[in-house]
Amino acid sequence: MVNNISDNEMIHDKHLIPDEAAMLAEILDGTADEVFLFNPELRIIWANRSARERFRTNFRDETIIGKSCPEVIGDCVPGISHDSDDSDYTAIKCGHECRDKRGGSIFCPLQVVRETGESCKAFEERTSENGDLIIHEISAYPSRISDSLIYISRDITKAWSIETELMEIRNQFFLLQENSIDILMILDSNFNFSFISSAVSESVGLLPEELMGRNLVELIHSDSVNMVSERITSVIRDQLSGKKIDEAMHWEVKLKDSRSEPVWSEIVVKKSQERPGMKSCYVAVSRSINQRKIYEHALIRAQQEWADTFDAVPDLIALLDRNQNILRMNRAMAESFRSLNEIPGRKKCFQMVHGTSCAIENCPHMKALQDGKTHVSEVRLDKLGKDLLVSVTPLMDRKSNVIGSVHVARDITVQKTTQRELKKVEMDLRNTLDELSTKSESLQLANSELSQYAYAVTHDVRAPLRAIHNYALFLREDLQDSLSDDTLLYMNNLVKAVIEAEELVNGILELSKIGFEDLILKPLEIKSFIGELTEGLNLETDCEITIIGPEFEILGEATLLRQIFQNLVLNGLKFNNSAIRRVEIHCDETAVADEITEGFARIRVQDNGIGMDERYFEQVFRVFERLHSNNEYPGTGIGLSIVKKAVTRLGGKIEISSQPGEGTCFTVLLRKYDAD
C-alpha cells in the first residue's frame, strides 16, 4: 500500500517541510500514529505515511496535501471552546453539549487549538469495515513551524479494551469484598496489610484504614500471637532461603476485637503467583468460627459430663458391639473385675465376666441382638461373690439396625442373701416371699429411671436424718448450759447442716415423686387455686402478692400445680433485695395465638427481684444448679427443677424472660379445660 503513493505527492510534501525537520518527518513516517500538519486555515501541509495510507482509499490517486480538515477528517463544528485540565481525557464543549471521550467526531480539536492557542486532547470513535468499534486518541497543539498546527491520531482500542476489562474486574473485586462476610486480605512479604476488606469492621470492630500498613500479628489476640508469630517467621525464613511456598496455610487463631476480646477465626494464607513487575505478596481469607468453637467446647463439655456421670454410677455398666467385644466400661465395672487398665475391645464379655470361651446359655446380649428388645435377668457371679440384676438394652444406629448393647448390672447381693435366709428360717412365709420377690422384680424393672432410683434413696435417708436432727436438738437443749461457746457453735452448725440435708432430701423426694405417681387430671379454677395457695404461705411483712386476670378453668392436678406456683412465688420473694418484695401473677385465658400454643392458657409470675442473665435460663432448671452460694441465698437448687418437671408432666411449657437487676418473669402454659 505504501508503494502506491505517488512521488509527486512525496515531493510536494517535502517541498513544504523545512529542511531542519526532514529527519523528523522521516521518523514520523515510521510510526503507526496518524500525524498531520495543518496551516492556520486548517489545510493539510504535511501528513505522515500512516495518515496518507488511511485516506488513500477515499481520495484514490489524489493527494491529501492542501485538503481542508472537513474534507479529510470530518466536518468542523463552529463555536467550540476548550475546557482545560490535567486529565488525559479532556472534555470538549460543543455548542450547548459536553462530549467526553465517547463523544465521537462531532467536535474539532484543531479549532480549539486555533482559538485558544492551547493544546487539546480528545477521543474519536470509529467503526471498522467489520463493524468493530475503534477508538482513537486525538492530540492537537500549536507547532513551532510558522503558525501550523499538529494533529496526531493514535489507535488506543486495545488499551481501551484492556482498561475496560480491568475496570470490570476491579468492580467485581470490590463487589466481592463489600458483600463477603469473610475478611479478605492482601499482605506484603513481611505480612503487613496492603489491603483489607470492610468485613473486618463487623468481625472485630476495627476499620480497614486503622490496619493498613500494620502487621497481621497486631490483629491477633494474645492467646494466639506466639503461634502466629512463629509461623510468619518460619514463612519469611523459607522465603528468604528461596524455598518454594506453594501450599496454602490454614491457621485457627483468635483475633482481637476493638476491646481486645478474642474472636475465633480460621485464616487461610496463600502466596500469590510471582509475575514480572509485581512484588511478592500473600492473599489471605479470614472466616469467623466463633460459633463453631462454642459448639465444639459445648460438645467437649457434654462428653466430659457424660463420661463423669458414666463413671459415677455405682452400677456395673459396659458397652458391647455385636461380637460381644467390650467397647467401654465404667469405673465400677473395671474396678470390680480389676481391669481398670484393660483396653476396650481387647476382651469379650463372656471371657472377662464368666471366664468362658463362648457366650453363655440364654445370653441376654444375644437375645437383644435377635429381637431388638431389652432383656433383664439375675446372674450369680461366684468370682465376685455377688448377685447381679443384669439389664441388656440394644444399641441402634440411625437406620434402626442393632449394632451392640448396653449392659447394666446392679448389685442385689443383699436382697438375694436376705431372701435365702428368710426362706430357711421362715418356711411358712414362702408364699408371701414369692409374692414379694415377684413384686421386687417388677419394681426393679421400673427402677430403671433415675427419678425412681432417687425416690428410693431419699426415702430411706430421710428417717435417719430426722433422727439425727432430733438427737442433735435434744443434746443441745440438755447440755446448752454446760457447753463452751465453741462447742455450742458446733452443735448449732450440726443442726443447721442436718436441716439443710433434710431440705435437700425432701426436694429430691418431691422431684422423683413427680414422675413416679399416677397422674389424674381434672378441671381447676386456676385464679382461686393460686389465691388459696398464696394465702396459706407464711410471708413476711415486706412481701406483696397480687393476682391479676379473669377466673377460668385449666386441666391439671392439685399437687403438681401447688409445686409449680409455690416454688415460683417463693423464688421471686427469696431472690429479691427490694424494700418491698413484690410478685404479680397474671392469669390470661388465651396464650399468644399460634399453632403450638393453641388450647393453652398463660400464667405469668413476675417479680421485682435481682433478675438473671439470659445465658442461665436453661441452667436454672437443672437439678442442683445454683447461681449463688448458700450463704447468699439458702436453698437446695431443686425448686425450679421440680417446677420444670411438674409443668412437663402436665403437658405444659415454661419460659423465662429476665435481665439482671430488673426482675424475672416465668411464663407457664397449661392446657385449658374444654367442657365439650
165 in a domain, yes or no?
no
Q: Which domain holds residue 237?
A: 180-293
394 in a domain, yes or no?
yes
pLDDT tens sequence across 638-663: 778 888 888 888 889 999 999 998 99
307 in a domain, yes or no?
no
Query: Band of the pLDDT at 416, cuts 50, 70, 90?
Result: confident
pLDDT of residue 472: 67
User: In this structure, are 369 and 388 located in the same domain?
Assistant: yes
Position 57 pLDDT exceeds 70: no
Phi, psi angles (nearest 5°) of residue 192: -90, 145
Domain count, the chain: 5
pLDDT of residue 158: 86
Of 496, 516, 536, which residue constitutes the final position of a domain?
516
User: In this structure, are 358 and 471 located in the same domain?
Assistant: no
Of 364, 389, 411, which residue constitutes the final position of a domain?
411
Query: Among the listed ranges 123-132, 295-304, 661-670, which one has the minimum average pLDDT value?
Result: 123-132
User: In this structure, are 483 and 535 located in the same domain?
Assistant: no
pLDDT tens sequence across 517-556: 667 888 989 889 888 888 888 888 899 999 999 999 989 8
pLDDT of residue 584: 92
Rounded to the nearest 10 degrees, what angle do helices 485-516 and 639-649 cross at? 10
User: In this structure, are 536 and 485 located in the same domain?
Assistant: no
Edge-first strand listing for the sheet containing 375-381: 326-329, 316-321, 402-411, 386-396, 375-381
User: In this structure, are 8 and 152 located in the same domain?
Assistant: yes
168 in a domain, yes or no?
no
pLDDT of residue 517: 62
More confident residue, 518 or 3: 518
Percent of the chain with pLDDT strictly greater than 70: 76
User: In this structure, are 195 and 116 located in the same domain?
Assistant: no
pLDDT of residue 89: 33
State the CATH number of the domain containing residue 403: 3.30.450.20
pLDDT tens sequence across 338-396: 754 455 446 788 888 887 888 888 888 888 888 889 998 888 888 788 888 889 999 88
pLDDT tens sequence across 136-163: 888 888 987 678 888 898 888 888 888 8
User: In this structure, are 9 and 146 located in the same domain?
Assistant: yes
User: In this structure, are 490 and 539 located in the same domain?
Assistant: no
User: In this structure, are 323 and 337 located in the same domain?
Assistant: yes
| 533 Ramachandran zone, left/alpha/beta (phi>0; psi -120 to 50) | alpha
Position 126 pLDDT exceeds 70: yes
Q: What CA–CA distances, in Å, run from 461 to 344, 468, 471, 593, 634?
A: 37, 11, 16, 47, 21
Position 409 pLDDT exceeds 80: yes
First to last CA, the chain: 105
**What is the identity of the amino acid at 191?**
F
Whole-number Å distance between alpha carbons of 474 and 598: 57
627 in a domain, yes or no?
yes
281 in a domain, yes or no?
yes
pLDDT of residue 3: 32
112 in a domain, yes or no?
yes
User: In this structure, are 658 and 644 located in the same domain?
Assistant: yes
User: In this structure, are 391 and 490 located in the same domain?
Assistant: no
User: In this structure, are 568 and 644 located in the same domain?
Assistant: yes
Position 426 pLDDT exceeds 90: no
Whole-number Å distance between alpha carbons of 95 and 81: 8
pLDDT of residue 466: 64
For 34-71, give the DSSP string. EEEEE-TTSBEEEE-HHHHHHHHHHHTTS--TT-BHHH
Of 293, 327, 361, which residue constitutes the final position of a domain?
293
Position 516 pLDDT exceeds 80: no
443 in a domain, yes or no?
no
pLDDT tens sequence across 442-457: 544 544 444 555 555 5
